[in-house]
A and B are shown apart, each in its own frame.
Chain A
Amino acid sequence: MTTYILRRLGFSVFVLWGALTIVFAAIRLAPGDPAQLMLGSDATAQDVASLRQRLGLDRPILIQYVDYLVRAVRLDLGVSLRLDQPAAQAILERFGETARLAATAMLLALGASFPLGIWAALRPRSPVDSFVSLVSLLGQSVPNFWLGIMFILLFARQLRLLPSGGAETWQHLILPAVTLALPLVGVLTRLVRSGMLDVLDEDYVRTAWAKGLPPRTVVTRHALINMLIPVVTVIGLQLGHLLGGAVIVETVFAWPGVGRLLVEAIGNRDYPLVQAAVVFITTGFVLINFLVDLSYGYLDPRVRLG
Chain B
Amino acid sequence: MSSELSPSLTRTAPPAPPNLEGLGGPSPSAAEPAAVAGSRPERSSRARRQRVRLALSALPLVLFILIAALGPLVFPYDSVTVRTGERLKPPGEILADGSRALLGTDQVGRDLLAQVLQGARISLLVGLATVAVAGLIGLLVGVLAGYYGGAVDAVSMRLADIQLAFPSILLAILIAAMLGPSVVNVIITLALTRWVTFARVARAATLATRERDFVTAARALGAGDRRLLGRHIIPSTVGPLVVIATVEVGLVIIAEASLSFLGLGTPSDQPSWGLVVANGRAYLNTAWWISTMPGLALSLVVLAVGRFGDQLRDTLDPRAASRA
Binding site for B on A (CB under 8 A): 7-8, 11, 14-16, 18-19, 22-23, 26-27, 29-31, 124, 137-138, 140-143, 145-146, 149-150, 152-153, 157, 187, 190-191, 194-195, 197-198, 201-202, 229-230, 233-234, 237-238, 240-241, 243-245, 247-248, 251, 262-263, 266-267, 274, 278, 281-282, 285-286, 289, 293, 296, 300, 302-305
Contacts and interface: CB of A to CB of B under 8 A. Distances in A.
A157 B263 CA distance: 24
B324 A194 contact: yes
B258 interface: yes
A140 B159 CA distance: 28
Given A18-B162, A190-B324, A240 B7 contact: yes
B23 interface: yes
A230 B18 contact: yes
B178 A27 contact: yes
B8 to A, nearest CB: 8
A197 B173 contact: no
Nearest to A245: B169
Contacts of B204: none
B318 to A, nearest CB: 15
Summarize B's interface: helix, strand, loop or mixed: helix
Contacts of B264: 266
A198 B11 contact: no
B63 interface: no
A237 B299 contact: no
Contacts, number: 197
Contact of B177 (A201, A237, A266): A266
Contacts of A31: 179-180
A202 B167 contact: no
Given A124-B31, A197-B29, A233-B17, A16 B165 contact: yes
B299 A234 contact: no
Summarize A's interface: helix, strand, loop or mixed: helix
B291 interface: yes
Contact of A30 (B179, B257, B278, B322): B179
A187 B263 CA distance: 27
Nearest to B179: A30
B233 interface: no
Contact of A11 (B2, B159, B261, B277): B2
A52 B81 CA distance: 42
Given A15-B162, A23-B174, A138 B303 contact: yes
Q: Which among A124, A146, A234, A304 has the highest number of chain B CB atoms within 10 Å?
A: A146
Contacts of B274: 143, 145
Given A233-B15, A248-B261, A286 B165 contact: yes
B168 interface: yes
Contact of A266 (B173, B278, B302, B322): B173
A274 B166 CA distance: 14
Given A26-B174, A145-B258, A146-B295, 18 more contacts: A14-B158, A15-B165, A18-B159, A22-B171, A140-B11, A143-B298, A145-B274, A146-B299, A149-B280, A149-B284, A157-B284, A194-B323, A198-B29, A234-B15, A241-B9, A263-B262, A281-B167, A303-B20
